A and B are shown apart, each in its own frame.
Chain A
Amino acid sequence: MKKYFEIAKINFLNSFAYFGEFFFHAIFILLILFIFTNMWKAVYSGKELIEGFTLSMMIWYLLMAESIVTSSPGFVKEVNTEVQNGEIAYKLNKPYNYILYHFAKSFSRRIINFTLTFILGAVLIYFLIGGFDFKIYSLFFLVLILFLAMTLDFFISMSIALLSFWLEDSNSLRWIYDKLLFTIGGMLVPLEIFPTWLAKIAGVLPFSFIAYSPAKLFVRFSFVDFFNVFAIQISYIIIFGCITWIIYKRGVRRLNVNGG
């Protein structure tokens, strides 16, 4: 376990060399927040509450959901390249597990991405809309839910990335997955805005436990919701962890590397 912590630490420190990249990423999210703030202001004109959300709750929800989803580093492309050019064979010989190596590496980058985006976004929203009634005691539980949301996202992304053993370009599938997070995952709008039938379906799919549930707990915390989300996130992590492992094992078995 210690070696993965060291991998995460090294990548965390390395990431500061690319601070400009993180900064530009955060600026882009600010632009999205600015657009949505204008849009929701137009929608809310004359209304105090929409589906239990005030205007400021809606914008803070969006910040949390955007920060989680867009903080994911593009490791799918990296794995895709490693499988395509055979570099994976070199990494399989190393004294670490390939999946856990990527988990440690991507998580360290993700923490920086998330923190920077969230802080800059929070400053912008506070300036545009103001604060909201955040329950400070929920902080510890939220950090746990965020960790699980990012872990679940990692395993789904990794299982897509490892399909590179069979597909020419698994990155395109990641693209579709991103759009699922944006829409039925509730990144752009909470599921309460959806028609009831669609909200019910989206509410049980894993995508909403990455964006919607953590963001909703952030703006409207309750222990009942927390335990529900926690239990379902753990279940999905086990399911997708197993799927990732099976794909990985089968993929490695069919790996053919030309010498050179």
Chain B
Amino acid sequence: MVAKKNSQNSIKKTAKFMLEYFKINLQSIMEYRISFITQASFMFVNDIFWVIFWAIFFNKFPSINNWVFTDIMAMFVVITCAWGLVGTVFGNFKNIAEIIRDGQLDFYLALPKEELSHILISKLKFDAFGDLLFGIILAIIFVPFAKLPLLLVLVLVSSIIILGFAIILGSLSFYMGSSVEVANQGLMGILTLASYPFSVFSGFTRIFLLTLIPAGFITGVPVELLKLFDWKWFLLMLAFAGIVLGISLIIFKKGVKRYESGNLINARI
């Protein structure tokens, strides 16, 4: 009972710490506002190009294995919102491998706060705001109002899967020495696979995309659920997100125990 209460207190403390850190991060935008506006708007324009591409494609071929243009737009809503949300809140999610490899973990270990959450939130990814804004606008245009609550849940679950996957790839640095390239390519790979219609994949590829490289759970399943809700797939997605996050935390925590400091001396300004 006491252990449970302690654990609840610890989660509460971490959540409060993250919220305060996030507020400070938001304030820092004002300091770097030109850079923020540039990066966020360029990501927004980048996303527009993809919409133009798919508009051209579906103008010529109205359906690909039962996916129509609005399904692709729903897919873009999910991926830009989920990727944008992870980047906005956990801006360092792509840099875990580099932080471990370069010995920068020492800084986080020396502080009394929980190290993983501290690493993740200690950077703000400006371009992620562009993604998030783009996703929200696209959702308003293409997703029926009645489905917005479901969309919100699906985006949150997709975000958890992206975050868990990023932590797993980044934490491999504890075991491989450096997983920077693997993490970069893995994250680019999952983002790419999640940005194309899931309906074109079949057989073994489909199984692969629902397990090892879970791009199917990030956009494919959410789009299918938005088209036609199915409790079985919804619960499966929730369970998968929980498993990925759980595995990622275990791999990271075990990795920290193996970690040897590089005695790096640097200044954080």
Q: How far is the CB of A46 from chain B (nearest CB, A)?
A: 12
Contact B59 A183 (CB under 8 A): no
Which of A38, A168, A183 is close to B201, meaning CB atoms less than 8 Å apart?
A38
For the complex, count residues of A whose C-beta is within 8 A of B.
28
Q: Knowing A183-B49, A193-B60 touch, does A172 contact B39 (C-beta < 8 A)?
A: yes
Given A169-B38, A180-B49, output 17 extra A-B contacts at Cβ < 8 Å. A28-B192, A32-B192, A38-B200, A39-B196, A39-B197, A43-B61, A168-B34, A168-B38, A172-B38, A175-B42, A183-B49, A189-B56, A193-B56, A193-B60, A194-B56, A194-B60, A195-B56
| A41, B189: Cα distance in complex, Å | 21
Which of B53, B57, B192, B200 is close to A31, meaning CB atoms less than 8 Å apart?
B192
Residues of A92-117 whose CB lies within 8 A of B: none
| A182, B49: Cα distance in complex, Å | 9
Q: Could you pull out 21 A-B pairs where Cβ atoms are within 8 angstroms? A: A24-B184, A24-B185, A28-B189, A31-B189, A32-B192, A35-B193, A35-B200, A38-B201, A42-B199, A43-B61, A43-B64, A168-B38, A169-B35, A172-B39, A172-B42, A175-B42, A179-B49, A183-B52, A188-B53, A189-B53, A189-B56
A259 in contact (CB, < 8 A): no
| Chain A residues within an 8 Å CB radius of B184 | 24
| Chain A residues within an 8 Å CB radius of B35 | 168-169
B205 in contact (CB, < 8 A): yes
Residues of B197-219 whose CB lies within 8 A of A: 197, 199-202, 205
Contact B46 A35 (CB under 8 A): no
Q: How far is the CB of A103 from chain B (nearest CB, A)?
A: 26
B11 in contact (CB, < 8 A): no
Q: How far is the CB of B146 from chain A (nearest CB, A)?
A: 30
Contact with B along A65-107 (1 / 0, CB 8 A): 0000000000000000000000000000000000000000000
Contact A42 B65 (CB under 8 A): yes
Q: How far is the CB of B242 from chain A (nearest CB, A)?
A: 27
Tell me what chain A mostly uses at the interface: helix, strand, loop, or mixed: helix
B260 in contact (CB, < 8 A): no
| A32, B161: Cα distance in complex, Å | 22
Count of A-B contacts with CB under 8 A?
68
Q: How far is the CB of A257 from chain B (nearest CB, A)?
A: 23
| Chain A residues within an 8 Å CB radius of B181 | 20-21, 24
Q: Knowing A31-B189, A182-B49 touch, does A42 contact B64 (C-beta < 8 A)?
A: yes
Interface centre among B53, B184, B188 (most CB of A within 10 A): B53
Place the interface of chain B in its size category: 20 to 34
Interface centre among A179, A183, A198 (most CB of B within 10 A): A179
**Chain B residue at smallest Cβ distance from A173:** B42
A27 in contact (CB, < 8 A): yes
B residues neighboring A (CB under 8 Å): 34-35, 38-39, 42, 45-46, 49, 52-53, 56-57, 59-61, 64-65, 181, 184-185, 188-189, 192-193, 196-197, 199-202, 205
| A194, B54: Cα distance in complex, Å | 11
Contact B185 A183 (CB under 8 A): no
A residues neighboring B (CB under 8 Å): 20-21, 24, 27-28, 31-32, 35, 38-39, 41-43, 168-169, 172, 175-176, 179-180, 182-183, 188-189, 193-195, 198
Contact B53 A182 (CB under 8 A): yes
| Chain A residues within an 8 Å CB radius of B199 | 42
Contact B52 A195 (CB under 8 A): no
**Chain A residue at smallest Cβ distance from B52:** A183
| Chain A residues within an 8 Å CB radius of B192 | 28, 31-32, 35
Contact A189 B38 (CB under 8 A): no
Contact A175 B46 (CB under 8 A): yes
| A9, B56: Cα distance in complex, Å | 42
Which of A28, A35, A195 is close to B185, meaning CB atoms less than 8 Å apart?
A28
Q: How far is the CB of A41 from chain B (nearest CB, A)?
A: 7
Q: Knowing A42-B64, A195-B59 touch, does A35 contact B196 (C-beta < 8 A)?
A: yes
**Chain A residue at smallest Cβ distance from B189:** A31
| Chain A residues within an 8 Å CB radius of B200 | 35, 38-39, 41-42
| Chain A residues within an 8 Å CB radius of B45 | 176, 179
